[in-house]
Structure 1
Amino acid sequence: MTSQGLQPDTSELDAWLATNAEAIDTTQALASEILPRLGRAGVFRIGVPAHFGGSGATIADAIEAVAHVAEQSLAAAFVFWGQRTFIEYVLQSSNESLRTRWLDTLLSGELAGATGLSNAMKYLSNIEPLQMKARSLNGDQWTLDGSLPWITNLRPQGFVAAAAFDHASQESGVPPSIFAIPHDAKGVTRSEDLDLVALRSSNTAALRVEGTVLDQSFRITADAPAWLARVRPGFLGLQCGMSVGLARRCLAAVGEAGPGSRAAVAGEAEHLANELEDLTHRLKDGVLKGIFIAAPAALFEIRIALAAIVEAAVGLEVQVTGGRGYLRGQGGTARRMREAAFVPIVTPSLVQLKNQLALHAKAHSA
């Protein structure tokens, strides 16, 4: 870890992930175990202030922890990202009741936190409109309606999901709000798990709210655009940790290959490793210093560059592993190929980010 703080011992978690990474990726059999095991390992507390029940350190250490888990299992890291990002939302909210109600059980892994804000992040970048609507009942209650097709960490045993809601026309001029939606609120339904080709133990499903009534104590923020701009670096920074960890593991596999194979790609592997180290440093530094709040394009560029490194690193692993990697149960190469295929499409996708960068460049050249 890069900062001071009481850091957890993850050796037991590491061993379990190493043993079960294939099953976590290809089946739903272990979906109920991932969150509690991450919680028992204490990783959700990393980067959370001690007075809130955390182990101290910084958000950069939390990014590094996501990367460490991703080296073993991207599916487990995906769950980790969802949980830790939701915890960050609770920490960054001015609504004290959210922390009082849920923070302890989120940190322990007893309750699942689902970000649910992919739609909102795309809304912030003018990619798509908000899909959820809020209608005021009085000054302190709202009726919520809408659906989100893809949310990770919707644990059937209990979850709370963040979602952004556009206010009805009767409240024109009011910025969108973000609410924390508990699984047991009236009108909240979770679909069956989506039939994913990989990451199948990530509890990824669709969420629908119909006539759900929540009051002020469930509102994360009353000004979604301003608040999202502040939390986006953490959202994307923690997500980038997934790419960092996966790329590291692919390059480690290259280093474990036979001497002839290693020698054939040594130059490429060294170049990727150096570039990965540089990007990881820039990512952590930018998140810690708040650079990406005012300059999101710089963060988008890092996310895109990390995805390119993942693609190149897994490609090198395939080359040095050869036909053995095409067999089941042979070191995880095939699984990492599936994991790498997810990196470009996790929201915001590379296509969406590239479009945003093109608009940014056009605006600044006008």
Structure 2
Amino acid sequence: MNHAPLTAVTPQLATWLDANAEAIDAGQELAPQILPQLGRAELFRIGVPGQLGGLGGTTVEAIEAVAGVAGHSLAAAFVFWGQRTFIEYLLQSPNEALRTRSLPMLLRGELAGATGLSNAMKYLSNIEPLQMNAAPLSGAGVTAGWTLNGSLPWITNLRREGFLAAAAFDHSDGAPPSIFAIPHDAPGVIRSDDLDLIALRSSNTAALKLDGAVLDASWQITADARAFLVQARPAFLGLQCGMSIGLARRALAAVAASSAAVRAAVDGEASRLAYDLDALSQRLFDGIRHGTFLAAPATLFEVRIGLAALVDAAVRLEVQAAGGRGYLRGPGGAARRTREAAFVPIVTPSIVQLKNQLAQHRQAQAA
């Protein structure tokens, strides 16, 4: 069975994740530690230009890094995805001052970046309207500031120790929708208690409400949300796919480590899954490298859907290979990976939403 190895995560980080993966998944006590651990491993700097404090490389290397973490803990990879995606927004933002003052803390893992643009990505695909509204301050002119209201029911990496959350806003004066970075300590910014998730419980996932929060242009990531989202979507979904790739690789590695008798029984299915995983990963990496997903987002949706199905099959095969051991709590991780895999189809945009988008796309092509 020939599939790519897990991306090199530092030995220290791998040891910490393996020792704490069950606790990170099932409880919230270690939530404050995940971001600093990832920051110390310098993972947030991958795919960021050197002149901005990064390690260079491309988004593909960042996706591989997310996959590497996902092989140890999907909850930690989920946090990583949120942080690295927010960093990507700043890299693509014309707001140089916001990038200059925020990026160093984000790269070190001292400040959390929360990508609250799931609603916006659905808006981009005409799935739902924007849930946030911006009104220009009365008589002050658009650039002086806005009063922000609305709520988003689900955002990851809303770290209690401090966060910036990206969210898209309709404008009451008819201006195009824009995107703001919302600081956790601005008056009128309200974070809920953590959501009662069945897994990934240390991911600092909560709801965010804005009640008359006031921000000026220094917090605006872009004044043109739609154009920005089209540009950012390949990285948003590509980094998200890294979670699936890493989890599938880890499940298949567990199958490969089974007894000879078990391997003989499942070798055909395992080999097919490994082949499909390599093919889908390569399709993702090629599309990211060459920019083809910008003009053809449907092909990226197909990759995301395919990876979700593959994760499900790989984890079910791991459970088969583990037998009764796979149903025990403990260091083996098969039960945890089953819970983690159950999350993959519902992370926004969900597989159901993407399938609906593809159906509409095909209908439009047929017409």
- For the criterion TM > 0.5, the same-fold answer is yes
SS where residue 136 of structure 2 aligns?
strand
Alpha-carbon distance in 2 for matches of 1:49, 1:285: 20
Which residue number corresponds to residue 273 of structure 1?
Answer: 274
In structure 1, list runs of 5 or more residues that go unmatched: 1-6
Which residue number corresponds to residue 246 of structure 1?
Answer: 247
Cα 1:344–1:9 change in 2 (3 A) is closer
Residues 1:186 and 2:152 are matched in the alignment: no
Alpha-carbon distance in 1 for matches of 2:35, 2:105: 11
Output one character per residue of 1:255-313: Cα deviation in whole Å (capped at 9) or x when no partner: 11111111111011001101101111110110121111110000000000000110110
Q: How many residues align?
A: 357
1:1-366 aligned within 5 A: 10-137=10-137, 138-140=141-143, 141-168=145-172, 171-172=173-174, 174-366=175-367
SS where residue 71 of structure 2 aligns?
helix
Letter in 2 for 1:72: H
Alpha-carbon distance in 2 for matches of 1:8, 1:310: 21
**Aligned residues of 2:9 and 2:65 also touching (Cα < 8 A):** no
**Aligned residues of 1:79 and 1:202 also touching (Cα < 8 A):** yes
Alpha-carbon distance in 1 for matches of 2:8, 2:358: 38
**Aligned residues of 1:8 and 1:43 also touching (Cα < 8 A):** no
Letter in 1 for 2:98: L
Alpha-carbon distance in 1 for matches of 2:106, 2:284: 25
Instruction: After TM superposition, give the deviation of residue 66 of structure 1 in Å.
Output: 0.1
Alpha-carbon distance in 1 for matches of 2:272, 2:60: 24
**Aligned residues of 2:8 and 2:68 also touching (Cα < 8 A):** no
Output one character per residue of 1:12-49: Cα deviation in whole Å (capped at 9) or x when no partner: 10110011100000000100000000000000000000
Letter in 2 for 1:271: R
Alpha-carbon distance in 1 for matches of 2:24, 2:10: 18
Instruction: After TM superposition, give the deviation of residue 139 of structure 1 in Å.
Output: 2.2
SS where residue 193 of structure 2 aligns?
coil
The answer to which of 356-365 and 133-142 deviates more is: 133-142
Which residue number corresponds to residue 4 of structure 2?
Answer: none
In structure 2, list runs of 5 or more residues that go unmatched: 1-6
Alpha-carbon distance in 1 for matches of 2:179, 2:62: 24
Q: Among all aligned residue pairs of Structure 1 and Structure 2, give the percentage whose two residues are the same amino acid.
A: 70
Letter in 1 for 2:142: G
Alpha-carbon distance in 2 for matches of 1:134, 1:13: 41
Alpha-carbon distance in 1 for matches of 2:227, 2:58: 22
**Aligned residues of 1:233 and 1:293 also touching (Cα < 8 A):** yes
Cα 1:337–1:230 change in 2 (3 A) is same
**Aligned residues of 2:9 and 2:69 also touching (Cα < 8 A):** no
Output one character per residue of 1:139-197: Cα deviation in whole Å (capped at 9) or x when no partner: 211110000000000000000000000011xx22x210000000001100100100100
Alpha-carbon distance in 2 for matches of 1:15, 1:328: 19
